[in-house]
Structure 1
Amino acid sequence: MLNKLPLLKPLIDIPRMSELAQSMVKDALDAFVRRDVDLARDVGQRDEELDLLRDQIFRELLTYMHAPSIGPDTIDRGIYLILVSRHLERIGDHASNIAENVAFLVEGRIVRHQKEEWWEEKDS
């Protein structure tokens, strides 16, 4: 459906989100297989970037959808893109969950409720 409608705006952030989510999944799985805690931390740190991109896309699309001269399908197109960004962000969340499981597997630590501190440990 979305591919049959004209673009609401140039797609810049959604392809970036897609690349980021894909790299996070790949690295999370690599970290799991190799039991690489540093790579797992890196995955977790990238999750914040994905969250920020989702929020930015939401704000931009909301602006388009509230414009006074919107066409009848503008809201539909905006909602579809918001949902795409939301699902890409959830993929990143799943990759982060895998990364957290690597910490448990290798270090025996539960980092679910102290993610930020754990992600920053490598930099300390």
Structure 2
Amino acid sequence: MPNESKHIVSSFEADLKKLHDMIAAMGGLVERAVADAATALLTHDANLAANVIEHDAQINAEQHAVEQFAVRLLALRQPVADDLRQIIQALKVVTDLERVGDYAANIAKRSIVINQVASNFSLSSLGQMAALVQQNLKSSIDTVGEANPQKAIALWRADQAVDDLYNTIFRELITYMMEDARNITACTHLLFIAKNLERIGDHTTNIAELVYYAVTGENLPDFRPKGDTTAAYLPSNG
């Protein structure tokens, strides 16, 4: 019996490792989608944007694969305590990653439209915001594998800088639209792109919260000061 018990534990640990590897693989695809969407916007590369849109289906397929494997572990292993929290974390993390993939595809779609509209606006602020979001996204995926609660807290707090940039970009674009009605079309798409990036930042904080809970069994505070002050002005965007 001791050998059998040891075998069962070892087998379950292998399953958990596979689950983490699957999340890392999906995370890699999502990271690439966000990076390519940002590059397509900044370099006006319609082909790269189309590639991001096309590969969103692969991200969705990875999500379903992780979910199926996690549900199988729940059914066959009936985990408790720390192990159960890890599997629940996995199910929620891939949902966040799938949404990030959707936002990347949306940025790519809007970048194609912007390419077709005469626009002389500087995209440097959006590029800065995209770089910060990509950095936080990578950190969130790494934190899942490392299971480090201190890093999760740091990442949870880091979203403030993303919100601050978003508020600045929002004000700039609104000013351009008020100055000249001909700017409205391009600026509207740029506003939604900025909002997509801001929402990606929110999903990275969700992942940080999930990591913290999975490791400690405790929740981070319900309230984190939210820097986005534009919610009353911009409609929701899927």
> Could you say which TM-score interval applies, normalised by the shorter chain?
0.7 to 0.9
Listed as ranges, the matches of 1:89-100 within 5 Å are 89-100=198-209
TM-score (norm 1): 0.83
Do residues 101 (structure 1) and 213 (structure 2) align? no
- Aligned residue type for 1:91: I
Structure with a larger share of its residues in helix: 2
Structure 1 letter corresponding to 2:215: V
Give the number of the structure whose alpha-carbon radius of gyration is greater: 2
Residue 161 (structure 2) aligns with: 49
Identity of aligned residues (%): 31
Structure 1 position 8, deviation (Å)? 4.2
| Per-residue deviation, residues 44-66 of structure 1 (Å, max 9, x unmatched) | 12201111111111111111100
Do structure 1's residue 5 and structure 2's residue 117 form an aligned pair? yes
For 2:221 and 2:196, the matched residues in 1 are separated by 21
Residue pair 1:8, 1:77 contacting (<8 A) in 2 also: no
SS at match of 2:173: helix
The residue correspondences of 1:67-78 to structure 2 (distance < 5 A) are 67=179, 70=180, 72=182, 74-78=183-187
Segment drifting more, 3-12 vs 35-44: 3-12
Q: Distance in 1 between matches of 2:147 and 2:165?
A: 29
Task: Classify the secondary structure of the residue corresponding to 1:66.
Answer: helix
TM-score normalized by the length of structure 2: 0.45
Q: Answer yes or no: is the 8 Å Cα contact 1:28–1:40 preserved in 2.
A: yes
CA distance in structure 2 between the partners assigned to 1:39 and 1:6 by the alignment: 43
Cα distance in 1 for residues equivalent to 2:135 and 2:119: 26
Partners of 2:169 and 2:201 lie apart in 1 by 16
- What's the offset of the Cα at 1:20? 1.1
The alignment status of 1:86 with 2:156, answered yes or no, reads no
- Write the letter of the residue equivalent to 2:158: R
Q: What is the rounded CA distance, in whole Å, between the counterparts of 2:217 and 2:224 in structure 1? A: 14
- Extract unaligned runs of 5+ from structure 2: 1-112, 226-238
SS in 1 for 2:118: coil
The alpha carbon displacement at 1:114 in A equals 4.0
With 81-90 and 35-44 compared, the bigger mean Cα shift is at 35-44
Q: Is the 8 A contact 1:31 1:102 kept in 2?
A: yes
Q: Give the total of aligned pairs.
A: 113
Distance 1:102 1:115 in 2: 16
Equivalent residue, structure 1, for 2:152: 40
| Backbone CA RMSD of aligned residues | 1.5
C-alpha separation in 2, matches of 1:94 and 1:26: 12
Which consecutive unaligned segments of at least 5 residues does structure 1 have? 117-124
Q: How far apart, CA to CA, are the structure 2 residues paired with 1:8 and 1:45? A: 34
Distance 1:71 1:65 in 2: 6
Q: Pick 1 or 2: higher relative contact order, CA cutoff 8 A, min separation 6.
A: 1
